[in-house]
Amino acid sequence: MGSIRLLMIALVAAIVLLAPALSSTQPAMGQPDAVARITPVQGLVQHRADTDLAYEWETLTEDAFLYEGDWVQTDHAGLAEVVFFEGNFVEILPDSLLQVEEFAFEDEDSPVVVIDLSVGDILTEIDHRLDNDSRYEVHTPTAVVSVRGTRFFTTVTWQAETIINHETGTLAVSGVAPDGTISPPILISTTQQLPITSDGAIGEPGPFNPPDYP
């Protein structure tokens, strides 16, 4: 698995150099740099820019670039893979809606990545250890998940409940109350599941139970 991810990252880096050849994702003059590359795997995978005031979704049938603020959604059979240009990997599972909320660098070696998952499931893989200036977070309506090199699933139900299935690494989770108050983070162990209710209350850890997907 590690060698495959490294190969994907190397391919992404090479393709970035050929960006003008990608007609469907060629950046307009003055547009910020792309932050990730998305590959539609199956089903319906759609994308739109946050600046698109018409809220028109583009159906992806081939690889495309993602920019800070972009949205991605999948249908009941949709799967997509996202490789960020600093090396981290996200798999978007069916019936999901997310936004690349933030992508920046505190310095040359310290990435800041924030993903906002509105509903659905994602699998996140952080293959390298982040330094103290780095920040990688997954935000949901009721939780903030902070990462220090790990692999975990994040689920958001239509009832705005969040479920974290933590497979490996170090993970800190905070609940988010309806008024926006964020609770102190708690650390969860590997191969554990942690539920967060729709009002941001953190439940008791249970056995690791990742979602089923094609």
Q: How confident is the model over 135-145, as pLDDT tens digits?
A: 889 999 999 99
Average predicted confidence (pLDDT) for the chain: 85
Say what the pLDDT of residue 51 is.
84
pTM equals 0.83
Confidence bin at 129 (pLDDT 50/70/90):
low
> Cβ neighbours of residue 112 under 8 Å, at least 6 residues apart?
102, 103, 104, 105, 106, 134, 135, 136
